[in-house]
Structure 1
Amino acid sequence: MPTGHEDFDAFYTATAKRLVATVYAVTGDLAEAEDAVQEAYVRAWQRWDRLARDGDPLPWVRTVAIRLAISTWRRARNRVRAHFRHGPPTEVPGLSVDRVALVGALGELSIEQRQAVVLHHLLDLPVEEVAREAGVSNGAVRTRLHRARKILGERLAETIVTAGRVEGVHHG
């Protein structure tokens, strides 16, 4: 029978990479995402017996990581804006080129809209679970998603047109 330590190690191995990618998509800052995720796992380890007993610990760890990252993001807003002006890194572990382009587009959204989009559209969580993790109503999540989709639609359409011109892709 596995020990708590072995269970935690297996959980960490199975979830850490995707969680870093998720938090990165919310914040746009890979170093901050890695730091927030590491801290969330430290906090999970401190409560591991209870978290494991209560069921799937991933939503708890994800919520803690995103809240830590958002808190850091708010304190360093100007630095993050500068990051988006210069674009995301060209290679990000665990994210495809399309996902990196999406992260750049996510930079146009408020942090609350980004969190809703990442949890709902990238992780396929239902609106109710997004609301629970964000600490807001279902209606607030739906409003954030609606506004975010409009902004992303415009931004990604511009990115596709620009990429087509840059790469010399001609349609028709």
Structure 2
Amino acid sequence: MGTARSEADFEAFYSASSRRLLGHVYAMVGDVAEAEDALQEAYARAWQRWGRVAGYEDPEAWVRTVAYRIAVSSWRRTANRLRAHRRGARAEEEPGASPDRLALIAALRAIPAEQRRVIVLHHLVGLSVEEVAQETGAPIGTVKSRLARGRRALAGHVSEFADENQEAENYV
């Protein structure tokens, strides 16, 4: 009975989180297929360790982190292919994605991966700076710096970040 219960718990977790996490990972990596592949592998690993992962304070953070790391490993193995892909990149459609969301994803592709990751975790996932630091393993000051640089880099592409940067400059 314990196995059936844990299987049902995992299925409920997967059903409740998979679409949301796909959006997060897609925003971090900028490619739907890469996000889907990485997330599928992360869920497979979560299932293998479900007894432990289910007890974590935030199992979604574990899956999101693993998926991100899988995607980064994939990037390293296929760096040349990705460079060619980016040269010819076109807007990809995430099922149900609005034009604004697709524009944001395109803008995120233009900034470094570390900045993109903290921007997504903070602004799209809704994590606090401290939670982002915990999930990424970076010091809080580094997260704040990456957020600030990422916002500046996105300001020319996304009006929300341009407004934030203007407000920040007014207080300096």
In the other structure, the counterpart of 1:103 is: 105
| Counterpart Cα distance in 1 of 2:49 and 2:92 | 36
| Counterpart Cα distance in 1 of 2:56 and 2:125 | 21
CA contact (8 A) 2:118 2:132 kept: yes
CA drift of 1:132 comes to 1.4
CA drift of 1:82 comes to 4.1
Secondary structure class of the residue paired with 2:157: helix
Identity of matched residues, %: 54
| Counterpart Cα distance in 2 of 1:23 and 1:65 | 7
- One-letter identity of the residue aligned with 2:126: D
TM-score, normalised by the number of residues in structure 1: 0.83
In the other structure, the counterpart of 1:169 is: none
Q: Is residue 147 of structure 2 the alignment partner of residue 145 of structure 1? A: yes
Moved more, 34-43 or 87-96: 87-96
| Counterpart Cα distance in 2 of 1:81 and 1:96 | 26
Secondary structure class of the residue paired with 2:127: coil
TM-score, normalised by the number of residues in structure 2: 0.83
Alignment RMSD:
1.9
1:117-156 aligned within 5 A: 117-156=119-158
| Counterpart Cα distance in 2 of 1:100 and 1:54 | 32
Aligned residues: 157
- One-letter identity of the residue aligned with 2:9: D
CA contact (8 A) 1:84 1:104 kept: no
CA deviation vs aligned residue, 1:117-167 (integer Å, no higher than 9, x gap): 00001111011111111111111111111011011001335xxxxxxxxxx
CA contact (8 A) 1:127 1:142 kept: yes
User: Structure 1 runs of 4+ off > 6 angstroms?
Assistant: none
Change (3 A) 1:39 1:27: same
In the other structure, the counterpart of 1:12 is: 14
| Counterpart Cα distance in 2 of 1:26 and 1:98 | 16
Unaligned runs of 5+ in 2: 160-172
Secondary structure class of the residue paired with 1:53: coil
CA drift of 1:80 comes to 3.5
